[in-house]
Amino acid sequence: MGKVAIDWKQYDATASWDELVTPAGRARSGAGPLLRVLSRLTDAELTERQAAAELAIRSMGITFTVYSGEDASGIDRAWPFDIVPRLIRKREWDRISRGLKQRVRALNAFIDDVYHGQRALRDGVVPARYVRKSKEFRQRCVGIDPPHGVWAHVCGTDLVRDRDGALYVLEDNLRVPSGVSYMLENRAIMKRVFPELFDDYVIHPVDDYPQRLAACLRSLAPQSRSSPRVVVLTPGIHNSAYFEHTYLASVMGADLVEGTDLTVGKDDCVYMKTIAGRVRVDVIYRRIDDLFLDPSVFNPNSMLGVPGLMRAWQAGKVALANAPGCGVADDKVIYTFVPDLVRYFLNEEPILANVPSYRCVEKESRDYVLDNLDKLVVKPANESGGYGMLMGPGACAKERTAFARAVRANPRNYMAQPMLTLSSAPTLVGPPGSDQRMQPRHLDLRPFILSGAETYVTMGGLTRVAMKKGSMVVNSSQGGGSKDTWVVDLDP
Partner 1 sequence: MKHSLLSSAAERLYWLGRYIERAENTARLIMVNAGLLMEMPARLPLGWRPLIDITDTAKRFDSLYAEATERNVCRFLTCDSRHSSAITNALAAARENARTVRETMPRVTFEYINDLHDFAHSELTPNPSRVKRRAALNGLSLRVQRLEGFLSQNMLHDAPWQFLRLGNHIERADMTTRIIDVRTADLLPPGHGLAPFQEIQWRSVLISLFARQSYHATISAVVQRPLVLEFLLSNLDLPRSYAYCLEAIRRGIRSLPRNSKSLGACNRALHDLQAANVGELEGATLHRFIDNCQTRLGELHTAMQETWFRGG
Give the residues lining the site for partner 1 (CB under 8 A): 58-61, 229, 232, 237, 242, 246-247, 249-251, 253-258, 260-261, 263, 271-279
Cβ neighbours, 10 Å, residue 166 = 13
CB 482, min distance to partner 1, A: 20
Please, what is the minimum distance in Å from the beta carbon of residue 485 to partner 1? 22
CB of 317 to partner 1, least distance (A): 18
Strands 414-418 and 376-380 come out as antiparallel
Complex with partner 1: residue 37 or 215, whichever CB lies closer = 215
Task: Kindly state the smallest distance separating residue 126's Cβ from partner 1, in Å.
Answer: 40
Pick 58 or 132: Cβ nearer partner 1: 58
CB of 260 to partner 1, least distance (A): 7
Nearer to partner 1, 161 or 229 (CB): 229
In terms of CB distance, is 52 or 60 closer to partner 1? 60
Residue 40 or 273: which CB sits closer to partner 1? 273
* Shortest distance in whole angstroms from residue 342 CB to partner 1: 38
Q: Which CB sits closer to partner 1, 181 or 336?
A: 181
Give least dist CB 26 to partner 1, A: 41
Residue in 267, 247, 250, 107 with CA at minimum distance from that of residue 174: 107
Give the C-alpha separation, 37 to 200, whole Å: 10
Q: Is the peptide bond before 186 cis (omega within 30 degrees of 0)?
A: no
Phi, psi of 481 (to 5 degrees): -120, -165
The rounded distance, in Å, linking the Cα atoms of 314 and 308 is 10
Q: How far apart are CA 387 and CA 189, in angstroms?
A: 29
Distance of closest approach, residue 314 Cβ to partner 1, in angstroms: 24
How is the beta sheet containing 376-380 ordered, strand by strand?
358-359, 414-418, 376-380, 390-391
Instruction: Select 305 or 440, whichever has its Cβ closest to partner 1.
Output: 305
| Nearer CB in complex with partner 1: 65/423 | 65
